[in-house]
Amino acid sequence: DLASKLIDNLPKAELHLHIEGTLEPEMMLRLAKRNKISLPYKDVEDVRKAYEFDCLQDFLDLYYLGMSVLLTEQDFFDLTWAYLERVHQDGLTHVELFFDPQAHTDRGVSFETVLGGLTSALEQAQREMGISSKLIMCFLRHLPEEQAFDALECACKHKEHIFGVGLDSSEKGFPPPLFERVFAKAREEGFVPVAHLGEEGTAENVREGLDLLKVERVDHGNHALDDPALTQRLAEAQTPLTMCPISNWRLKGIPTLAHSPVKKAMDAGLLVTVNSDDPSYFGGYLNDNYRAVYEHLPLVEKDLVTLAQNSFKASFLSDQEKQIQL
Ligand code: ADE
Ligand code: ZN
């Protein structure tokens, strides 16, 4: 229908996307074979059947298992290229993508192998599809801060390719104060800070992310809305929130898509964006997430245009680059 065509045709940026979360079952099995890695799945259907999650941790367990097939620079290239080709059809023109180096260096894959594959795909996408991009390196919050410092040291050797630092993985039990020092160092080195906050964690986590980590954007931020003073603060500062409706639903953060906080956040004057998070695991790419909020929330077509415009406003493109995209 009309709204669906509008969604397909609107230029959009994606600001909350874990590249390892785009690994489709077909590619997972192909790479497992290529790299002689054994997986507990016998076919594609078997993989898809396993994707039933009761919480963030259920998903993370399979997410880390799945990415164990990624070994070579070519693997990381193939993964990234497949995502970019897919979302090019969605009208995506800019992406700020997360990667989790510690999940790879922990398995003996070098930081340079990961980064090399990602950047060559991103550069080819700029040349051949006109897609611009920025890379955000995430620290895994379930691992010690010391290992985050190791990742940061690697990133410092590749500043021309890495724009920002983020914080992801298990939120419960691993609050922002644990990463205050490594974020301070990252900011000192010129990396722009963001963090997953208020996905399963509380409004207090979001506040700590702002005050202690000094994040410039909040990933998810759902639970910020539980706190009116914090909501007002985010609205006044126009701190962007990168929300992920289908992810929230699949991880049971919300019981149905009608409970997505996207509309409530828009109404509160927040700079909200819609994103896919880990599209292969949650069964929806960028436009599927736009469709989900349009179908399940009281949104009109103009709100879709606002969300697409917000995706550029909330991006880390320069003001001049934003002007061109908007
Ligand atoms: N890693 C990949 N996706 C994530 C999410 N939605 N939350 C936390 N860590 C993640
Ligand atoms: Zn995420």
Q: How far is the CA of 17 from the centre of ligand 2 (A)?
A: 6
Percent of the chain with pLDDT over 70: 100
Distance CA 51, CA 59 (A): 8
Q: Is 243 in the pocket of ligand 1 (CB under 6 A)?
A: no
Q: Is 96 in the pocket of ligand 1 (CB under 6 A)?
A: no
Please state whether 144 falls in left (phi above 0), alpha (psi between -120 and 50) or beta: beta
Burial class (CB in 10 A: 0-12, 13-18, 19+), 145: middle
The residues annotated with a catalytic role in the active site are 199
Domain assignment of residue 47, given as a range: 2-314
The answer to whether position 326 is within a domain reads no
1 has pLDDT over 90: no
Please tell me what DSSP assigns to residue 251.
T
Mean pLDDT of 135-163: 98
Domain harbouring 189, CATH code = 3.20.20.140
Query: Residue 63 has what pLDDT?
Result: 98
pLDDT in tens, 183-204: 999 999 999 999 999 999 999 9
Query: Please, are residues 239 and 193 in contact by the beta-carbon 8 Å criterion?
Result: no
Query: Please, are residues 137 and 101 in contact by the beta-carbon 8 Å criterion?
Result: yes
Mean pLDDT of 166-195: 98
Distance CA 308, CA 326 (A): 9
Query: Please, are residues 206 and 171 in contact by the beta-carbon 8 Å criterion?
Result: no
The answer to whether position 276 is within a domain reads yes
Torsion sign over Cα 217, 113, 82, 35 = negative
Residue 109 Cα distances to 19, 82, 117, 160, 294, angstroms: 16, 21, 12, 21, 41
| ipTM score for this prediction | 0.98
Question: 55: Cβ–Cβ under 8 A, 6 or more apart, which residues?
Answer: 200, 251, 252
The answer to whether position 325 is within a domain reads no
Question: 17: Cβ–Cβ under 8 A, 6 or more apart, which residues?
Answer: 83, 95, 96, 97, 98, 275, 276, 277, 279
The answer to whether position 107 is within a domain reads yes
Using alpha carbons, select from 279, 283, 282, 286 the residue that is nearest to residue 253.
282
Q: Please name which ligand lies nearest the alpha carbon of 199.
A: 1
Instruction: List, as residue ranges, the binding site for Zn(2+).
Output: 16, 18, 196, 277
Q: Is 73 in the pocket of ligand 1 (CB under 6 A)?
A: no
- Given pLDDT bands bounded at 50, 70 and 90, which one contains residue 326? confident
Using alpha carbons, select from 282, 158, 265 the residue that is nearest to residue 218.
265
Mutual orientation of helices 111-129 and 73-88 as an angle, nearest 10°?
A: 30
pLDDT in tens, 249-259: 999 999 999 99
pLDDT in tens, 59-93: 999 999 999 999 999 999 999 999 999 999 999 99
Mean pLDDT of 122-128: 98
Query: Residue 268 has what pLDDT?
Result: 98
Query: Residue 243 has what pLDDT?
Result: 99
Mean pLDDT of 238-265: 98
The answer to whether position 323 is within a domain reads no
Question: Which of 14, 169, 219, 242 most suits a substitution to test ligand 1, by most atoms within 8 Å of the C-beta?
Answer: 169
The answer to whether position 319 is within a domain reads no
Q: Whose CA is nearest to atom 9 of ligand 1?
A: 169
Question: Pseudo-torsion of CA 311, 313, 319, 324, nearest 10°?
Answer: 50
Q: Whose CA is nearest to atom 1 of ligand 1?
A: 169
Q: Whose CA is nearest to atom 8 of ligand 1?
A: 169
In the chain, the number of structural domains is 1
Query: Please, are residues 37 and 117 in contact by the beta-carbon 8 Å criterion?
Result: no
Q: How far is the CA of 222 from the centre of ligand 1 (A)?
A: 14
- In ligand 1, the atom with minimum distance to the C-alpha of 21 is 2
Residue 237 Cα distances to 31, 39, 200, 241, angstroms: 44, 46, 23, 12
Query: Please, are residues 14 and 274 in contact by the beta-carbon 8 Å criterion?
Result: no
Query: Residue 89 has what pLDDT?
Result: 95
The answer to whether position 18 is within a domain reads yes
Residue 35 Cα distances to 15, 110, 142, 226, 267, angstroms: 31, 16, 27, 46, 49
Q: How far is the CA of 251 from the centre of ligand 2 (A)?
A: 11
Query: Please, are residues 21 and 281 in contact by the beta-carbon 8 Å criterion?
Result: yes
Residue 176 Cα distances to 103, 124, 163, 238, angstroms: 20, 36, 20, 21
